[in-house]
Amino acid sequence: MDKIQLAEFFKSLDSDLEVKEGKQYTEVTVPPSKIHSLASQLREKEEALFDFLDCITGVDYGHDLGVIYHLRSTKYQHMVVIKSRTADRENPLFDSVSDIWETANLHEREAFDLLGIKFANHPDLRRLFLNSSWGFPLRKDYVDNDMITW
């Protein structure tokens, strides 16, 4: 599928999805409540077969926290970027996709560890690099009290 066909495919799945052609990939913006459902369809539908999750990136946009998924179909050689964000900085919650793509397990743990983004139904959501005394160092509002000032 080319970018136009991918956009049409996404609109056929859910007409409320925001789909746009990025410079490199088709980009789809989805509310957090629809991530798992969309991910399942992308993995299972024969015309898409997004069988490979390249990465999940946690993002602090300032007011919102978000998650970006880069997906690839190894059969059809097309890629898509799925974006989602929440304004809830106190309890940022997205559904885990680790039951769909096993590689999501560590990516989601990293986003949790460094940004405090939680993933519902994750099999082992615990810090990956830092202990619990740390805050979330990739957040824009993070303050390191131990930082030496010169």
Longest dimension (CA), the chain: 59
Place 35 in a pLDDT band, splitting at 50, 70 and 90.
very high
Specify the amino acid at residue 118: K
Mean pLDDT of the chain: 93
- Tens of pLDDT, residue by residue over 94-119, are 999 999 999 999 999 999 999 999 99
CA distances from 38 to 63, 140, 141 (A): 25, 29, 31
pLDDT at 2: 80
53 SS3 class: strand
Backbone dihedral angles phi then psi of residue 109, each to the nearest 5 degrees: -65, -35
Q: Per this entry, what is the length of the chain?
A: 150
Q: What pLDDT score was predicted for residue 149?
A: 59
Mean pLDDT value of segment 120-139: 94
pLDDT of residue 147: 62
In the predicted structure, residue 150 carries a pLDDT above the cut 60:
no
Q: How far is CA 87 from each of CA 40, 45, 53, 66, 103, rounded to the nearest angstrom?
A: 24, 31, 25, 9, 26
Task: Please report the pLDDT score of residue 4 as a whole number.
Answer: 83
| Nearest residue to 90 (alpha-carbon basis) of 121, 122, 65 | 65
Share of the chain above pLDDT 90, in %: 81
Alpha helices in 14-84 (DSSP H): 35-44
- The topology (CATH level 3) of 3-88 is Beta Polymerase; domain 2 (3.30.460)
Contact status, residue 70 vs residue 79, Cβ threshold 8 Å: yes
* Rounded-to-integer distance, Cα 96 and Cα 125, Å: 10
pLDDT exceeding 70 applies to what percent of the chain? Answer: 96
Q: Write down the domain spans for the chain.
A: 3-88
**Residue 69 near residue 16, CB atoms below 8 Å:** no
- Tell me how far apart the alpha carbons of residues 54 and 9 are, in angstroms, rounded to a whole number: 21
Whole-prediction pTM: 0.92
In this model, does residue 50 exceed pLDDT 70?
yes
Is 61 in contact with 42 (CB distance < 8 Å)?
no
